[in-house]
Structure 1
Amino acid sequence: MEETERIANDGRPSAQHLCVLIHGLWGNPKHMDYVASALREKYSEDKLYILVAKTNSDSFTYDGVDLGAERVTQEIETYVKELEKEGSRITKISVVGYSLGGLVARYAIGLLFSNGWFDRVEPVNFTTFASPHLGVRTPVLGVHHRVWNLLGANTLSTSGRQLFTIDSFRNTGRPLLSVLADPGSIFMLALSKFKHRVLYANIINDRSAPYYTTSISTTDPYQNLDAIHIHYLPRYKPNILDPADPVSLKPPDTQPPLLTRIAESSHTLLSRVPVFALLFVLVPIGSVVFLINSGVQTIRSQKRIRMHEEGNAGIGLGSYRIPLMVENARSTMENAFENMNARQGLQYLPESESEDDTNSKVTHEYDNGHVEKSASSELKLKRTTSRHADFPTLALTPEQFAMVQALDDVGFRKYRVHIHEGRHTHAAIIVRSQTRKGFEEGKVVVGHWLDEEFEL
């Protein structure tokens, strides 16, 4: 019987494993071309089906993580039904998300889980590349950081509000990302079902999603590479860090105090210049295109969302509203956003603030309903700095500290990525363009994932 199910109607061997690839903000299926081609080179069509999601492309990514995930989920279900008509039977599924696509992927697997998918299909690999699991909100110590958070949150429609965690998701009264990381949610239950959970995060020069959020971390040890020893995996040196022991401080007598260097680097002239000056003086053309395009796309996005909510967008809401516990112009717009985001320095909790004080504040937020406790077990919130006690804790929000704790509890194997050549590591990590100079190191990253982490 098993052998019969492996044969398609035309007599060819049929794969049983489906891998879904999901691109990021402003993205399209072409962004995943290298990942898809690398998968296909390693696994033939009779071993693995590859679905590169396309229904959430380009400006459609403005419409929110939830709506994007509903589109992708419907695309997956439609694709599998077509395969079944041809005589194939999917028994395994893997999901790969890049950038915003990692959040869309986390939501989509929750929908699949709720619809009973994992009762008949084994979840195998869940992987994210440079995905902002904690959002992209800059730690808010300082007026210009607050301005950036406000500006960024209001120029990307629903996705912007969700990424900056200022939204109130449906009837929960909480940000979507907080709900997405709630230990009692369908999303976390679905995530826990996967046999392998892996993430890849750039340690430097990611202008779209900084290290702390892509690596799910409360610290950033890589602010000054001269002050640290980086420990690489021998076979993947100098691009992939050892996940068990990625970094250590150099002896104090060989370098200035780390906090002093961080303070000096974060008080450069550019960091003092107001965001509006950066917008309208240093990057005027990109900023104007960015703001105009953002306004137009936000209006269009809101119209699409209304159509979706009214059931006029071709997606049956009943299946997915389940209980929760222009290319050049677009490129200019993306670059303007990344340039602004890259100028936001990291901020840290005061050294005088004790760990107990931090725990108390976060627990207070839980007790007042801002962050809901799991029904199954009480989250033990703390500053997760034990492994990097020499590095200061970032000034994250209570929701972000809770996300770190919950996602660490479910467990990810974390690979820090050091791309040396390119200044656009967010795109290089997946070789978003095979003609772009400086993206070659991304092939090492994808190769590591295929050789060391992806299970057929």
Structure 2
Amino acid sequence: MADYTGGSAEADHLCVLVHGLWGNPNHMANVAKRLRAEYPKEKLYILVAKRNAGSFTYDGIEVGGERVCHEILEELALIKSQGGKIRKLSVVGYSLGGLVARYAIGLLYAKGVLDELECQTFTAFASPFLGVRTPLRGWANHVWNVLGARTLSLSGRQLFCIDKFRDTGKPLLAVLADPKSIFMQGLAKFKRRTLYTNIVNDRSAVYYTTGISKTDPYTDLSKVKINYLKGYEDVILDPKNPVEPLPANHQKEEESLSSRAHNLAQSLPFFLAMGLFLPIGVVALVITGAVQSFRSAKRIQLHEKGLAGVGDVTEYRSLPFLLKEIRNQIEDAYEELNSTQQQEYLSAANSDDDEEGLNGGGSTSLDHEDGGEDDQEQEEIVALERKQSQAAQPTLALTGHQFAMIAALDSLGWRTYPVWIHKARHSHAAIIVRMDRASFSEGEIVLNHWVKEEFLI
């Protein structure tokens, strides 16, 4: 990777790449390689974050964000010591890395670092900005929401929005999207904010959360006409008009019996493998989760004591994360089980059922702690969304916090590109060509579009 990361003293633009959950720097190799093919070392300096590799991603978005912030500060200091001068900054986050990157950006903003830089492009590839709770009901979804949140240590609690961040009484993801927070103020400084989101086969982060949307027009692609972006056909949809309803009199030809039999034959090995290995996988997930949660807790303790290579973390923890507090200080001197079923929606005509699903997937008191006034506020938000839900494009049964996140994040403005990966069942990995596979080749089209059309040099 050394051939296409780093840069020279002439480069004035630093681009930081942050990998996702269970990931490592090699997952971002093709992203870095595509950047380097377009921009030489004399023009662009590339940093692939390294301190959150592997099981270290269990340690939470806050700890991960502090590590990435520390790496960026170290790199800026190193470049300066070698005679270079960085004037521009771009940040790329993949999957969980998008959330970690947003936390790091907030810390850089609070420390005044972004005031000295021209913030160019923030890009997120398949990042679950609204968390990974399934907005579905039924026992399977309830198991996913409860089990998933408790097998990924602190990261799991934060991704499923059952944590209480510091003294806010809110999940960390809700604080990340608070308009008064350093995280939103830092994100607002970037000239361009871009999302690439899979519309199918992303078993780690489904469309609604990666596209910051309360609706999902891609639940049944047989009922819509797909409009592709010119020059990127069959992979990237036109962001201005991605889909449109098929004419009422349009009737798709019925699949022949032989065609359906062929499709079933192709899918049968997959379903047999799922039936055989899924129970084993769940047991392994629980055991691994318990072990990694224990190790993660030990790492977090070392991190808190400043013994984990990031220095004294009080430097970060003393930074207030709400803008009001910052102003006061200035004046006075933070994949397989998720998306297998149909979505659940809010409906004004079926209020009793919706009350059952306010917390996404039939949650119970096991899923979150008593929030008092905050819970009441969230229920009022959901009730309002229910009234506004339209039959043609029904609103997903998200939580109040998630609806608030959508409203706040939307206010920043995003350039969102829906992506349809056809060749791979694992579109979450294919979207950034996480490894060199023929079935991931469509991801090259995504990276090519990003580098040529979205990345500001």
Q: In the alignment, residue 369 of structure 1 is paired with which amino acid?
A: D
Structure-2 change in CA distance of 1:170 and 1:401 (3 Å): same
Partner in structure 1 of residue 279 of structure 2: 284
- Displacement after TM superposition at 1:385 (Å): 11
Q: In the alignment, residue 307 of structure 1 is paired with which amino acid?
A: L
> Over aligned residue pairs, what C-alpha RMSD do you find?
2.8
Partner in structure 2 of residue 121 of structure 1: 117
Q: In the alignment, residue 402 of structure 2 is paired with which amino acid?
A: Q
- Displacement after TM superposition at 1:342 (Å): 3.3
Partner in structure 2 of residue 268 of structure 1: none
- Displacement after TM superposition at 1:320 (Å): 1.1
- Displacement after TM superposition at 1:407 (Å): 0.6
1:97 aligns with 2:93: yes
1:368 to 373, 384, 394: 373
Count of aligned residue pairs for this structure pair = 400
Q: Is the 8 A contact 1:279 1:340 kept in 2?
A: no
**Secondary structure of the structure 2 residue equivalent to 1:37:** helix
Q: Is the 8 A contact 1:212 1:219 kept in 2?
A: yes
Q: In the alignment, residue 281 of structure 2 is paired with which amino acid?
A: G
Q: In the alignment, residue 217 of structure 1 is paired with which amino acid?
A: S
2:307 to 294, 306, 312: 312
Note the alpha carbon deviations across 1:231-289, whole angstroms, 9 max, x for none. 11111111111111111111233369xxxxxxxxxxxxxxxxxxxxx999652332332
1:346 to 339, 343, 355: 343
- Displacement after TM superposition at 1:341 (Å): 2.0
Unaligned runs of 5+ in 1: 1-11, 257-277, 326-337, 374-378
- Displacement after TM superposition at 1:211 (Å): 0.6
Q: Is the 8 A contact 2:125 2:432 kept in 1?
A: yes
1:218 aligns with 2:223: no
Q: In the alignment, residue 283 of structure 1 is paired with which amino acid?
A: L
- Displacement after TM superposition at 1:368 (Å): 2.9
**What is the alpha-carbon distance in structure 1 between the residues aligned to residue 207 and residue 453 of structure 2?**
22
**What is the alpha-carbon distance in structure 1 between the residues aligned to residue 276 and residue 184 of structure 2?**
44
Q: In the alignment, residue 206 of structure 1 is paired with which amino acid?
A: D
**What is the alpha-carbon distance in structure 2 between the residues aligned to residue 54 and residue 31 of structure 1?**
11
Q: In the alignment, residue 168 of structure 1 is paired with which amino acid?
A: K
1:429 aligns with 2:431: yes
Structure-2 change in CA distance of 1:146 and 1:281 (3 Å): same
Partner in structure 1 of residue 439 of structure 2: 438
**Secondary structure of the structure 2 residue equivalent to 1:155:** coil
**Secondary structure of the structure 1 residue equivalent to 2:218:** coil
**What is the alpha-carbon distance in structure 2 between the residues aligned to residue 53 and residue 371 of structure 1?**
40
**Secondary structure of the structure 2 residue equivalent to 1:132:** coil
Q: In the alignment, residue 61 of structure 1 is paired with which amino acid?
A: T
1:298 aligns with 2:293: yes
Structure-2 change in CA distance of 1:255 and 1:292 (3 Å): farther
**What is the alpha-carbon distance in structure 1 between the residues aligned to residue 160 and residue 201 of structure 2?**
20
Structure-2 change in CA distance of 1:384 and 1:75 (3 Å): farther
**Secondary structure of the structure 2 residue equivalent to 1:79:** helix
**Secondary structure of the structure 2 residue equivalent to 1:106:** helix
**What is the alpha-carbon distance in structure 1 between the residues aligned to residue 383 and residue 178 of structure 2?**
13
**What is the alpha-carbon distance in structure 2 between the residues aligned to residue 76 and residue 451 of structure 1?**
25
1:250 aligns with 2:246: yes
Q: Is the 8 A contact 1:198 1:414 kept in 2?
A: yes
Note the alpha carbon deviations across 1:299-320, whole angstroms, 9 max, x for none. 1001111121222223221221
1:154 aligns with 2:150: yes
Q: Is the 8 A contact 1:174 1:370 kept in 2?
A: no
Q: Is the 8 A contact 2:348 2:389 kept in 1?
A: no
2:77 to 75, 81, 86: 81
Identity %: 54
Partner in structure 2 of residue 8 of structure 1: none
Unaligned runs of 5+ in 2: 1-7, 253-272, 323-334, 360-369
2:176 to 175, 180, 192: 180
Structure-2 change in CA distance of 1:351 and 1:19 (3 Å): same
- Displacement after TM superposition at 1:367 (Å): 10
Partner in structure 2 of residue 7 of structure 1: none
Note the alpha carbon deviations across 1:47-95, whole angstroms, 9 max, x for none. 0000000001000000000100000100010011010000101111000
Q: Is the 8 A contact 2:136 2:344 kept in 1?
A: yes
Q: Is the 8 A contact 2:23 2:53 kept in 1?
A: yes
Partner in structure 1 of residue 405 of structure 2: 403
Partner in structure 1 of residue 29 of structure 2: 33
**What is the alpha-carbon distance in structure 2 between the residues aligned to residue 100 and residue 413 of structure 1?**
19
Spell out the pairing of 1:187-206 with structure 2 (5 A cutoff).
187-206=183-202
**What is the alpha-carbon distance in structure 2 between the residues aligned to residue 280 and residue 159 of structure 1?**
28
